Amino acid sequence: MIDLSDLKAVKEALRAQRIETPSWAFGNSGTRFKVFAQRGVPRSPEEKIADAATVHRFTGIAPSVALHIPWDRVDDYGALTRYAKDLGVEIGAINTNVFQDDDYKLGSVTNPDPGIRRKATDHLLEAISIMDATGSRDLKLWFSDGLNYPGQDDLRDRQDRLAEALREAYDRLGDHQRILLEYKLFEPAFYATDVPDWGTSYAHCVELGPKATVCIDTGHHAPGTNIEFIVAFLLRQGKLGAFDFNSRFYADDDLMAGAADPFQLFRIMYEIVRADALDPSHGINFMLDQCHNIEAKIPAVIRSVLNVQEATAKALLVDRDALRAAQRAGDVLGANAVLMDAFNTDVRPLLAELRTEDGLDPDPVAAYHRSGYQQRIEAERADGQQAGWGA
Ligand code: PSV
Ligand code: MN
Ligand code: MN
């Protein structure tokens, strides 16, 4: 059993933790079969930011919100940034969207048509201009580009076109800005995807330079993939830039982080702790990328933040000296027991204590329900509409 009496260092590490919420998680979303509208969903980027600020108010560890362009397009990004600041949050990563335009049927930056490639690359450059106005560090790129049929296009030419567009975006980055290149095994393309895995993303990032790093979306792998290995490998190479946390049972399900496999989340967070990479100064952006199709959105985002925090607390409890000693001694069962001991520890009382010490409610979900915020937005946003995925 782990002794929970003197945990000053663990609490300090948890206090420094930062999780970024996605604006689109607050809007209506669904599957290709049906979008179930909910009452009180945001009608504008400002209202999404207000919901993100509410998540931060109750959790204390979610002080930034990622935007998705054009879903969150506004005329004045400086004003939007000030609006966010007034609510106590910052604008985080700027996500590009080169997947919802008819022109991109055969690809965006990899499209065989140079005119369409130009349009897609211009969108990436526009996103960097938005980052200049919002003060954002991260340009998050995910390309839906790929092929449905063998022979449809030349696999290698498409890599060249991708590299060319990435180079143009990279060269436009300011000193404190960087690219996060996300990969995804399949969907919407079913035969080949142009950035299907961490290796492809990593190779492009290495070619680009130090301001390009890999973003791991936990829902974007083949079933059974050992994600913590990828985390450990990229950390060792200094090329892990960010996470899109969510959980999945089948494909890219975008369910709440830690809901499907809390043990996997713990194993991932252990590799982060193992590399001393939890602190924001290390530069990893711990984001959520989720869609709440049937559950209430704000409590679902709060729950996800808490799930990541719980996994982190357990990872911080791993007795690293004992683990190393067991590993060096070749004690297979002993080493595994050290890890499982931490995972099986109930950290909820510790986290409740931490929140109380910091002036937060020990139960953020219950506090949200008591706050009246949900009733207020349902009344105020009576004409709520699609935002994000449903748009
Ligand atoms: C693609 O599946 C993805 O994970 C990318 O991050 C997109 O930007 C995001 O989903 C939108 O939810
Ligand atoms: Mn993602
Ligand atoms: Mn995804």
Please write the tens of the pLDDT for every residue from 48-72.
999 999 999 999 999 999 999 999 9
Tell me the H-state helices in 114-239: 114-134, 155-172, 198-208, 227-237
Q: How far, rounded to the nearest angstrom, does the alpha carbon of residue 122 sit from its chain's CA centroid?
A: 24
Q: Whose CA is nearest to atom 7 of ligand 1?
A: 142
**Mean pLDDT confidence for 298-315:** 98
Q: How many CA atoms lie within 13 A of 259 on its CB side?
A: 21
Q: Give pLDDT, residue 383.
A: 72
The residue whose CB lies within 8 Å of the most ligand 1 atoms, and thus the one to mutate among 48, 123, 244, is: 244
Sorted by sequence, the CB contacts under 8 Å of residue 18 that are 6+ apart come out as 61, 62, 63, 64, 280, 286
Contact 204, 158 (CB under 8 A): no
Residue 388's pLDDT is 58
Q: What average pLDDT does range 126-134 have in this prediction?
A: 98
Q: From residue 3, how far is each of 43, 95, 321, 345, 346 by CA, in Å?
A: 48, 42, 15, 10, 11
Q: Residue 24 CA: which ligand 1 atom is closest? A: 12
pLDDT at 390 over 70: no
Give percent above pLDDT 70 in the chain. 98
Q: How many A from CA of 217 to the centre of ligand 2?
A: 5
Position 8 pLDDT exceeds 60: yes
**CA-closest residue to ligand 1 atom 5:** 142
Please give the number of the atom of ligand 1 that sits closest to the Cα of 290. 12
Atom of ligand 1 nearest to the CA of 289: 12
pLDDT band with cut points at 50, 70 and 90 for residue 150: very high
Q: Are 265 and 308 in contact (CB under 8 A)?
A: yes
Structure tokens at 36: 């179930």
Over residues 292-306, the mean pLDDT reads: 98
pLDDT tens readout for residues 318-338? 999 999 999 999 999 999 999
Q: Whose CA is nearest to atom 3 of ligand 1?
A: 142
**pTM exceeding the 0.90 threshold for the entire prediction:** yes
Type of residue at 63: P
pLDDT, tens digit, for every residue of 154-172?
Answer: 999 999 999 999 999 999 9
Average pLDDT over residues 172-176: 98
Q: Under a CB-based contact definition with an 8 Å cutoff, are residues 262 and 309 in contact?
A: no
Query: How far, in Å, CA of 250 to CA of 236, rounded?
Result: 29
> Ligand 1 pocket by C-beta < 6 Å: which residues?
24, 95, 142, 182, 184, 217, 244, 252, 289
pLDDT level of residue 31 (50, 70, 90 thresholds): confident
Per-residue pLDDT, 3: 80
Atom of ligand 1 nearest to the CA of 217: 4
What does the pLDDT read at residue 17?
98
Asked if residue 205 lies in contact with residue 212, where contact means CB atoms within 8 angstroms, the answer is: yes
Mean pLDDT, rounded, for 357-380:
98
Provide the residue ranges of all domains of the chain, joining segments of one domain with +. Answer: 8-390
Q: Which residue is closest in CA terms to ligand 1's atom 9? A: 289
Q: What is the pLDDT of residue 387?
A: 46
User: Sorting pLDDT into bands at 50, 70 and 90, what band is 384?
Assistant: low
Which of the four pLDDT bands, split at 50, 70 and 90, describes residue 309? very high
For the segment(s) 8-390, the CATH number from 3.40.50.720, 1.20.1600.10, 3.30.70.1090, 3.20.20.150 is: 3.20.20.150
Q: Taking residues 15-40, report their average pLDDT.
A: 95
Length of the chain: 391
**Residue 193 φ then ψ, to 5°:** -115, 145
The pLDDT of residue 382 is: 87
CA of 256 to the centre of ligand 3 (A): 12
Whole-number average pLDDT of the chain:
96
DSSP character for 30? B
Distance 142 CA to ligand 1 centre (A): 7
How confident is the model over 335-342, as a mean pLDDT? 98
Q: Are 84 and 48 in contact (CB under 8 A)?
A: no
The per-residue pLDDT for 371 is: 98
Which listed ligand is nearest to 29 at the C-alpha?
1
Q: Which of 281, 285, 274, 282 is nearest to 312 (CA)?
A: 274
